[in-house]
Structure 1
Amino acid sequence: MNLSDLPKLGNKRIKALSESGIDTILDLMNFLPRRYLDKTTVLPIRQVSGNGEQVTVVGRIKKIQQSGYGRKKRLEIIIQDDTASLKGVWFKGGYYIKKQFSEGEVVAFFGKAKQYGRYLSMAHPEVDKLDDKSDISDLKKIVPIYPSNNAFSKHRITNKLIHSWQKQILQKEKPPEFLPPYILSEYDLPKRHLAYRMMHFPQSKSEYKKAFIRFKFEELFLFELSVAKTKHEVIEQHQGPVFNNLGNYTKQFFNKNLPFELTEGQKSALSDIKKDVRSGKQMNRLVQGDVGSGKTIVAIGAILMALDNDFQAAFMAPTEILAEQHFRTLSSFLDPLDINIRLLVGNQKPTLRTDILTDIEGGNCDIAVGTHAIIQEEVNFYRLGLAVIDEQHRFGVKQRAEILTKGSHPHVLVMSATPIPRSLAMTLYSDLDISVIKGLPGGRKPVKTAVRPQKKQADIYRFVEEELAAGGQAYVVYPLVEESEKMDLKDATAGFEKLKKRFSDFEVGLLHGQMKSEEKDAIMQKFIENKIQLLVSTTVIEVGVDVPNASIMIVEHAERFGLSQLHQLRGRIGRGKRQSYCILIHGQKVSKEGQFRLRKMAQTNDGFEIAEADLKLRGPGDFLGTKQSGMPEFRVADIVEDQWILEQTKSAAWEIMDKDPHFEEPPHQELKKVFLPYFKERSKFYGMG
């Protein structure tokens, strides 16, 4: 059956449907209702309470009248049954509606009933014309309401017309089932053809809910199955380099050079990595922990395992400032070990770049630190055994795959200082094993967070002055670099000039993203050395800056920042032994969402709790901040709300992958037909397509 076989569907309407992604009969079947109108409650008018409940009432039209003037002109249709009267009111489109009805006709109104004065009223009710003999049971139904747009309105593709098309399709078409019978049974899912009927023509609320669960399940199941197969084919089947030798680098660093004791979380993560790199299979592990939990030391431990076994390591960061920070950190920690570390970023002089590339290819370079420049075609490693990727959410899954081309299946260690909610970890990072570093290194105190209005700024600055006088350092972060006429925000440049005068007894510095790399480095170095006590900055210091003596973080117009961003900024302090304070200053007008974010920051320091709240507010796409992430656009499922379904589909997917990875058994034949094209498309994100 084709779309053109449906009645009242000419070329213009076919084109309008196509603009909404509906090109086939199956596309139309998958055109989901955005909501449902429940008409199952039909009441005598006198029994309607008028408290805003949705009901259906039936009556004869007593009067059709227009009242009011100009913009306040409205159409009123009064209906009456044996018990009382009710008024339908239209504030728009009254002229057209008036032409459709006559006094004396029997009609059904459906909508929210409210009491206004002596009349019960419904604003813009749905109206069905009836004849005197009409069976009232016909009204007792649940009606799907489909999305509409300008093209639909222009070509009169109404809800009623779409519903009639769905009815004809379901009478002639029976979509094949591809979920195995044992999965349908185990998870209590309706068969596919029945689920379509339950979605478009539900007999009850529970029916359409069950249909949606079915379609959410199959959508998430195909995704989880693709991830499971990717892991099975790319990871389980690939031999990774074996790091059996625990040599001098590792022993000397952890036994002699490391100036502090490892936390239990760090020890656990290193134990996981050690097991992986000795297994003979390629490691793909995500190490996540809150800001300041000590992930860099774990990465150094993994790098030293590679070096002890005569392999090179690559360390990739999303920005130059973060790459430079990691380069300085690694150089500082590993200086006594005589390890050659090179920094590869975009804007280096040709002679320096050539020297670095020669070192990497010749094996002279032990550790290459850099941005995405590391995965460019011209970069060739002598013997790459480990790739460390920091702040994974800022890269794409495809970029993660590209690092694998730089060696013979090197181990991959992914790090994230942005705590990843469980639902995202189960989808986007399902191909990775996960280690979580809990807790903070010894001696660190939790940061105290306060939310203050702009009018309290003078008191806040007095507190900052006391802290600076006691030897501390402070950040003041602004959302913009230069003044914007469109938004009433303070900018970093103007703030810097003001704060220089206010804190004239101290050295005040300015840092923002438009500065040259050398300028930023010089400013940060001065701040690290306490030659600058107050650093005015934009969010360029969000990640990668580690100044243990900094004890105050002030965020101006904090209501304008996202939750994860605020948490990252707060993570810049509390890294030393001083008690640290984060002060979130907000303007006069704060949205409800802004108030929620500020409250959440004051309530908890737990990055995972904050990440879950942020994901619910923003959704996966905005949370990840990149279209290249590999996260698919789910049509029905919501990974935040549907985590329980996600867990079921992951379990079902791995059950198949463990028993029948090539889909050879009879129950999996129909699944194979649907899954393989889907997997071919998905595999492009993993460098397999």
Structure 2
Amino acid sequence: MPASAPVSVRDLPDVGEALAKKLEKLHLHTVWDAALHLPLRYEDETRITAIADAPFNTPCQVQGTVAHCEILFQPRKQLLARIRDASGGEINLRFLHFYPNLVRQLAAGQTVRAIGEIKHGFFGAEMIHPKIRTDTDAPLAESLTPVYPTVAGLAQPTLRRVIAAARARIDDGEVLPEALLAQLKLPPLRQTLERLHRPAPDTAPHLLTDPAFPPRQRLKFDELLAQQLSMRLARHAREQSRARPLHGNGAFGKPFAAALPFALTPAQQRVCAEIRNDLAQARPMRRLLQGDVGSGKTVVAALAALTALEAGDTVQVAVMAPTEILAEQHYHKFHRWFAPLGINTVLLSGRTRKKAKDAAKAGLADGSIRVAVGTHALFQNDMVFCDLGLAIVDEQHRFGVAQRLSLNDKGDNVHQLMMSATPIPRTLAMSFLADLDVSVIDELPPGRTPVRTKLVNCRRRSEVEGMVLHACQHGRQAYWVCPLIEESEALQLQTATETHARLQAALPALNIALIHGRMKAAEKAAVMAAFAAGKTDVLVATTVIEVGVDVPNAALMVIEHAERMGLSQLHQLRGRVGRGAAHSTCVLLFAEPLGEVAKARLKVIYQHTDGFEIARQDLQIRGPGEFLGARQSGAPMLRFADLDSDLHLLEAARQAACELLARHPEAVAAHLARWLGSREAYLQT
């Protein structure tokens, strides 16, 4: 079936500009968007339950005559009405917020229907803020009444009317092959939507929200299939586009590798070979390099840059980092490594002085500068590269899609190497990153020592200070990380400035420095250089040291208010120690009471050191959004499927996508038009 343009919700009856804007807040732009907007729950208005038989704590509909109604003012203003029916039962209806019209509707002698849950109240059985209907002669509903997610100002009756009108306008054709649906035991789409929007009265409420309910399985599969199809089409389009091959000759890479004080691990060598092969192709590389903390991604990135630079005298490389301190760390490493090879490297960030920035921009424009390291400053409109061949993006999930694309626009189909120290769980990579090639550094360099993790209540802070003193007296250094810079009355967290002052008072024999994101670039660089050189015993820091900092002599990491941080951040911070031969320890200071999520995070980080296992459990705790950065912003890309519990459907969708692209291109177009609409182009980024 050929794909037709989706019908806009604005074309539905009685949908004016004001209503259309409210629908757009729910990401409902087309009739298919509306048809796929599923209920949160259901109300049973198909029957009236006698008040005497009405169950507690279960939604039901009762009908009775108002025996008494009054406005009370103690302990607060509220409306209280009592109704009774022929069964002899009575129930109170309590409203804490009401309009005068409701008082008139509940006048004594009126007959009303009330829908809600009955609770035990001070004056007996009551419904709090039930839905009231006064048209008691109206016929009962023929199906369960859906209750949809909505926004302020968009009432349920209006939303139900719009969704019903949308379902009437969608095309009835089943675009997926019958054999595929039969193999997976999935119902037709039209039947699926009908059963979820207008369930029969005898349908058990728990069944409708059960993830294993066949109609929900059908929607999950369709959603995953749309995602897989879009990703594969994006990959195909990239593979069909042209880019300049970058053939390295080893002129830079061989002397660089020979000068390293260590040998590359087999995993690093394998990944380097994959990158070299990609760069030599006439299509743009889009490779994600992932590896655990300390696995040696920066060296691999440097070798990739050198391969690109070997391909021509004018080829340039851009290295982009999300924070200034990480960009500075990368710059110092690349400058130290590349200067002996005669390669000019420049740093560009928001704090770069105008004179230096103008000189750097001129050098990049005329090609005299080959490597630019920086933050978002690299993709400003006035930044011009003479011949950008490779863009390396570190911590890629922390950049927006538009930012990454704007860097790509600085050249002609620039090769891209994206790096992440947050290991991506397999299901996430299969799902959201199917358009990328993925390389994994799955082993740590020799000499890295396991880091012991300790959970310590903040009431025992003095003991931790003793651990810091002991470590420093034995020639080691320590980090003490705090989540805030200044006092916050709302959170009342220990701040970096307070901690710095307290540690100086408690440990006067030690040289203790402070670093945070609001310091000037030169100040931060000086503090880090002193710590790296061993002139500072303890570095009190905010999370600016989360990534990129490499001081082998640092053997103790103390993380203040660890319960406030995410698993990825905790794992990154812990990875700043254990980089030398000495045994290292990470102390997680926490404050009680702990919420359930905080307990779960601390348990995971205490029990596991493997980044992939931590990432897998983190995915279960917080979902995929933060792993993917701006890929996941805007309309949610997975509304129905759950990557952890629906792996079988994801596998089936991957296989089906291959089959449909090969044999049923018309079904592919129709399916994507239904499921993605305007989001398809966004997904392909």
Could you say whether these structures have the same fold, taking a TM-score greater than 0.5 normalized by the shorter chain as the test?
yes
Which residue of 550, 553, 560 corresponds with 1:546?
A: 550
Residues 381-420 of structure 1: pairs in structure 2 closer than 5 A: 381-420=385-424
**Alignment check: 8 A CA contact 2:238 2:283 kept:** no
Q: Which residue of 1 aligns with 2:299?
A: 297
Deviation (angstroms), 1:355: 3.9
- Give the Cα separation in 1 of the matches to 2:453 and 2:123: 54
- Quick check: 257-266 or 281-290, which moved more? 257-266
Residues 440-451 of structure 1: pairs in structure 2 closer than 5 A: 440-451=444-455
Deviation (angstroms), 1:392: 0.4
2:182 is aligned with 1:181: no
Q: Which residue of 2 aligns with 1:468?
A: 472
Deviation (angstroms), 1:263: 2.7
Deviation (angstroms), 1:616: 4.4
Q: Which residue of 2 aligns with 1:432?
A: 436
Assess, with a 3 A threshold, how the Cα gap between structure 1 residues 22 and 511 changes in structure 2: closer, same or farther. Answer: closer
Deviation (angstroms), 1:178: 6.7
Aligned CA-pair RMSD: 4.3
**Alignment check: 8 A CA contact 1:315 1:369 kept:** yes
Deviation (angstroms), 1:404: 3.0
Write out per-residue CA displacement over residues 422-464 of structure 1, whole angstroms, 9 at most, x where no aligned residue.
4543454332111122232212122112221221011111111
**Alignment check: 8 A CA contact 2:456 2:589 kept:** yes
Q: Which residue of 2 aligns with 1:637?
A: 640
Which residue of 40, 48, 55 corresponds with 1:34?
A: 40
Q: Which residue of 1 aligns with 2:190?
A: 193
Assess, with a 3 A threshold, how the Cα gap between structure 1 residues 351 and 59 changes in structure 2: closer, same or farther. Answer: closer
Q: Which residue of 1 aligns with 2:519?
A: 515
Q: Which residue of 1 aligns with 2:311?
A: 309
Deviation (angstroms), 1:548: 1.1
Q: How many residues align?
A: 664
Deviation (angstroms), 1:322: 1.1
Which residue of 325, 344, 366 corresponds with 1:321?
A: 325
2:678 alignment partner, SS class:
helix
2:254 alignment partner, SS class:
helix
Deviation (angstroms), 1:377: 4.2
Give aligned-pair identity as a percent: 35
**Alignment check: 8 A CA contact 1:512 1:538 kept:** yes
- Quick check: 348-357 or 454-463, which moved more? 348-357
**Alignment check: 8 A CA contact 1:397 1:629 kept:** no
Residues 363-374 of structure 1: pairs in structure 2 closer than 5 A: 363-374=367-378
Assess, with a 3 A threshold, how the Cα gap between structure 1 residues 60 and 293 changes in structure 2: closer, same or farther. Answer: same
- Quick check: 427-436 or 181-190, which moved more? 181-190
1:388 alignment partner, SS class:
strand
- Give the Cα separation in 1 of the matches to 2:356 and 2:12: 68
2:153 alignment partner, SS class:
helix
Residues 487-636 of structure 1: pairs in structure 2 closer than 5 A: 487-621=491-625, 624=628, 627=630, 632-634=635-637, 636=639
**Alignment check: 8 A CA contact 1:80 1:86 kept:** no
- Give the Cα separation in 2 of the matches to 1:278 and 1:616: 39
Assess, with a 3 A threshold, how the Cα gap between structure 1 residues 658 and 374 changes in structure 2: closer, same or farther. Answer: farther
Assess, with a 3 A threshold, how the Cα gap between structure 1 residues 638 and 216 changes in structure 2: closer, same or farther. Answer: closer
**Alignment check: 8 A CA contact 1:179 1:218 kept:** no
Amino acid of the structure 2 residue aligned with 1:258: L
- Give the Cα separation in 1 of the matches to 2:304 and 2:14: 66
Write out per-residue CA displacement over residues 248-286 of structure 1, whole angstroms, 9 at most, x where no aligned residue.
4333333x3222233333233223223323444322110
- Quick check: 116-125 or 343-352, which moved more? 116-125
Assess, with a 3 A threshold, how the Cα gap between structure 1 residues 525 and 674 changes in structure 2: closer, same or farther. Answer: same
The alignment's TM-score, normalised by the length of structure 2, stands at 0.82
1:441 alignment partner, SS class:
coil
**Alignment check: 8 A CA contact 1:423 1:639 kept:** no
- Quick check: 599-608 or 115-124, which moved more? 115-124
1:488 alignment partner, SS class:
coil
Q: Which residue of 1 aligns with 2:271?
A: 269
**Alignment check: 8 A CA contact 2:69 2:107 kept:** no
Deviation (angstroms), 1:391: 0.8
**Alignment check: 8 A CA contact 1:285 1:434 kept:** yes
Q: Which residue of 1 aligns with 2:678?
A: 678
Amino acid of the structure 2 residue aligned with 1:559: E
Deviation (angstroms), 1:234: 2.3
- Give the Cα separation in 2 of the matches to 1:392 and 1:229: 22
- Give the Cα separation in 1 of the matches to 2:119 and 2:152: 31
- Quick check: 235-244 or 526-535, which moved more? 235-244
Deviation (angstroms), 1:199: 2.0
| Runs of 5+ unmatched residues, structure 1 | none
**Alignment check: 8 A CA contact 1:21 1:27 kept:** yes
**Alignment check: 8 A CA contact 2:500 2:514 kept:** yes
Deviation (angstroms), 1:518: 0.6
- Give the Cα separation in 1 of the matches to 2:503 and 2:366: 51
